[in-house]
Amino acid sequence: MSTEIIDPRYIDVDQWPTETAMEAMVEGQLAAVAAVKGQVAAIARAADAAAQRLGRIGRLVYVGAGTSGRIAVQDGVELFPTYNWPQERLVFLMAGGLGALTESAEGAEDDVVAGRQEIADAKVGPNDVVIGVAASGRTPYTISAIETARQAGALTIGISNNPNARLLDAAEHGLVIDTGAEIVAGSTRMKAGTAQKVILNMVSTAIMLRRGLVHQGRMVNMRVSNDKLLNRAREMVRDIAHVDGAAAARALDAADLEIKPAVLVALGASPAAAHTLLTENDDSLGGAIRALRKDAVVDA
């Protein structure tokens, strides 16, 4: 596996001056990010398919072991505070259990039975999207989970840093970012981990775009949980609806601090009508605004 080989360029890296070693690390990180570019089309196809499959009820299921599992969980846990993606629509399957996020669970990554059973216990089905991450692409726990999920009808995405890996064949969408040898052999928390985080960021963000949780480059499904975010929400309503700050604040209060319906309220809809418009337009604020304006023209 390319992620495990020793690169002769770095055989004496422990003897280098720290600054020189860090320069090599930066170059490695930049190369890892650059390696993603060649897979953009494949990543986009996976994200589009995932967004369509998830619909209004599907769940995002993240699967992994060790470093890869921790990176996967990190991506998923950010979706609730950032996009208000419902927590009940997130599932995290980590080899060795979630305790392995902070403590090593030796041997857990080899547990094929656990991978299968945890997918079954989570009742993964056709509405769900399961993302398995493994730098080697051959982690038994992750592969068995992906295979079981696919058999259950879920859409599956496999992310690996080694080409021709079994995980890529097991998943419906196999995404490979060949980041090559690490500066410290086998330390996939470096280049491989960076590339994994980039791909996961891209996939989950694209899903949020396609699910209508972003409008005009703004996080309009954001969860308002503190004063800073309240001010940001008021600014969004003000700018999208083209109203003054006071009107934006009133609309946001009327919509129980939900930004998308607040924009529609600021544009003249009642709170109930705002929610109906969003439901009828698959939660797309743009679609709801167009429908509201069309109704206004018809009524006129």
For every residue of 30-54, DSSP letters joined together read HHHHHHHGGGHHHHHHHHHHHHHHH
pLDDT at 297: 57
Q: What's the CA gap between 63 and 47, in Å, rounded?
A: 17
Same domain, 237 and 187: no
Structure token digits, residue 150? 């696919």
Same domain, 231 and 268: yes
Alpha-helical regions (H) of the chain: 18-36, 40-54, 66-77, 79-83, 112-121, 140-151, 166-170, 191-210, 227-241, 245-254, 259-266, 271-280, 285-299
Same domain, 199 and 233: no
What CATH number has the domain bearing residue 270? Answer: 1.10.8.1080
Same domain, 55 and 129: yes
Same domain, 16 and 115: yes
Q: What's the CA gap between 127 and 221, in Å, rounded?
A: 21
Same domain, 53 and 93: yes
Residue range 221-249, pLDDT digits in tens? 999 999 999 999 999 999 999 999 999 99
Same domain, 247 and 192: no
Q: What is the domain range of residue 65?
A: 8-210
Alpha-helical regions (H) of 78-215: 79-83, 112-121, 140-151, 166-170, 191-210
Total tally of structural domains belonging to the chain: 2
Same domain, 128 and 264: no
Render each residue's pLDDT in the chain as its tens digit; 300 residues: 676 778 888 889 899 999 999 999 999 999 999 999 999 999 999 999 999 999 989 999 999 999 999 999 999 999 999 999 999 999 999 999 989 888 887 789 999 999 999 999 999 999 999 999 999 999 999 999 999 999 999 999 999 999 999 999 999 999 999 998 888 887 888 889 999 999 999 999 999 999 989 999 999 999 999 999 999 999 999 999 999 999 999 999 999 999 999 999 999 999 999 999 999 998 899 999 999 998 765 554
Q: What's the CA gap between 4 and 12, in Å, rounded?
A: 17
Residue positions annotated with a catalytic role: 78, 109
What CATH number has the domain bearing residue 14? Answer: 3.40.50.10490
Structure token digits, residue 296? 């206004």
pLDDT at 296: 66
Same domain, 232 and 269: yes
Measuring CA to CA, how many Å separate 26 from each of 22, 23, 182, 191? 6, 5, 12, 10
Burial category of 13 from C-beta neighbours within 10 Å (exposed 0-12, middle 13-18, buried 19 and up): middle
pTM, full prediction: 0.90
